[in-house]
Amino acid sequence: MINHVQHIGIPVTDIIASEVFYNRLGIDKVMDAPFTNENGNGKCIMMKNKEALIELYQLPEKELTEIKSRQNGHIDHIAFDVHDIDSCFRILKDASFHIVEEKPVFLSFWAKGCRYFNIIGPDGERLEFNQII
């Protein structure tokens, strides 16, 4: 069901500074997309070098307090690439995994969008399953 690790998601407090930092490491921006949630507008960029794909996202201002208070940063999630998000969702739901979303969620990322959902691991880690459309 899983093809490979698709990306690592990292919340950032200043997406421009983070883009410059990762670009200096030879990791280039390959996608740039805004998003909206119940707390306002955020921004997401995907940075890539060879097969390494890193999602950097800046949450709406109301949600930045926790991230700004951390001194060591953190990885938010690991995403796995899948061919069929609906089939993957059904299989994991039938196997009684703790799925966060009620159904796969569409984001207008990439050229045609993507669909994803998350499960929670035994220590609270978030694992995302993602299909780029």
- Could you tell me the pTM of the whole model? 0.72
Domain parsing of the chain, residue ranges? 2-132
Q: Which residue has the tokens 């045609």?
A: 112
pLDDT at 73: 65
Q: What is the pLDDT of residues 1-18, one digit of tens each?
A: 899 999 999 888 889 999
CATH 2.60.40.10, domain 2-132, yes or no: no
pLDDT at 123: 67
**Measured between alpha carbons, how far is residue 106 from residues 4, 35, 84 in Å?**
20, 11, 14
